Amino acid sequence: MRELFETLNENIKKHDEIIIMTHARPDLDGMGSALAFSKIVTSMKKKNYIVFPKEKVDRSLDKAFKLLSENAIEFEFKSEEEIINGKHNKPLLVILDTQKPELVESDKVLDFINDKIVIDHHIGSLDTIDDTIYKYSDANKSSIVEVMAEYLNYLDLKIEPLIMTVLLSGMVVDTSSFNIKTTARTFEMAAYLAKNGADFVLIQDLLKEPREEMVKRYSFISNSEEVVPDVLMCKMDDKIHGNVDIALLAKELLKFEDIKASFAIGKLSNRIVGVSARSMGNVNVGEIMKKIGGGGHLTDAAAQIKDKSIDEVESELKKVIKEVIK
């Protein structure tokens, strides 16, 4: 990690403006990290801005933004067009929480800026951003907010407690409340964030959801089926849902007694069906997702399938699950 931080310090110094970008439809981990990173760069007296999200789908992140602005904690955002059409002097693009070119907020900005640093915690695939100055990719990190906490700690930099709260809530989401992808170091960094002002009650508030959404999720769950023993699958309705909703469903299914793996299927758009998969670690859901065109970790994986109906994806997935889990 020291190497990453030294490279960041050196490159922030070398460049005149730092552009911060996370994945499209940002979540608390990606955008929370971007906010903290922006404060770090500002503390180094360098101009910086975050690529403005075209689509905002994360309710918790919206609440966080509202709270930040109520507390007069400001950030600079620039749209894709503003960046592409603007004049730049020695820009550096820092990409957080993804390393796949097709997942970034703006592929135009990605193509436009030459000097790039990537910081990610997802398993790399063939199609990754590789024309970088430096790439940090560690699938053993719970989240990028964990990496940002490490960086703050390394710099011995204090930033607003409310941002610490946003960072810790990102960690809570990415680890399913410290149930997955968690190492001893994750807890140390959670403690570091708490020591520096993260507020657990506020985190609960940020993560709360409307009653009707929970009721809807449980109606899908009540229609879930056990594909093979101890493996639950759940198909949503024909409406369009967010990535996050599908993932939440898979997470929720894994909570049931004896369940060792779970799969949730839902429409992400008129052309794309999303699948989210979770496991306790003895079923490799990453392998299963790979077989239907996705990817991911042992315990946490996903796929996005184009031009197939939700029923087609369901039957294909069932077949693969039956092959892999005997």
Which residues would be at the binding site for Mn ion (CB under 5 A)? 29, 97, 143, 174
Q: Chain centroid to CA 222: how far? A: 27
What tokens were used for 149? 């906490």
Which string of b and e fits 65-91 if b means at least 16 CB within 10 Å?
bebbeeeebebeebebeebeeeeeeeb
Q: How far is the CB of 224 from Mn ion (least distance, A)?
A: 26
* Phi, psi at 263, each rounded to 5°: -140, 135
Which residue number, 167 or 259, has a Cβ lying nearer to Mn ion? 167
DSSP three-state, residue 66: helix
Complex with Mn ion: residue 120 or 314, whichever CB lies closer: 120
Q: What is the layout of strands, in order, in the sheet containing 272-279? A: 225-228, 231-240, 261-267, 272-279, 300-306, 295-296
Q: How far is the CB of 90 from Mn ion (least distance, A)?
A: 29
Considering beta carbons, is residue 101 or 216 the nearer one to Mn ion?
101
| Minimum distance of Mn ion from residue 22's CB (angstroms) | 9
Task: Report which residue's Cβ sits closest to Mn ion.
Answer: 29
Judged by beta carbon, residue 247 or residue 313, the one nearer Mn ion is 247
Residue closer to Mn ion by CB (options 43, 137) is: 137
R_g of the chain computed on alpha carbons: 20
Q: How far is the CB of 174 from Mn ion (least distance, A)?
A: 5
Report, in Å, the least distance between residue 29 CB and Mn ion: 4
Task: Give yes or no for a contact between 178 and 190, defined as CB atoms under 8 angstroms apart.
Answer: yes
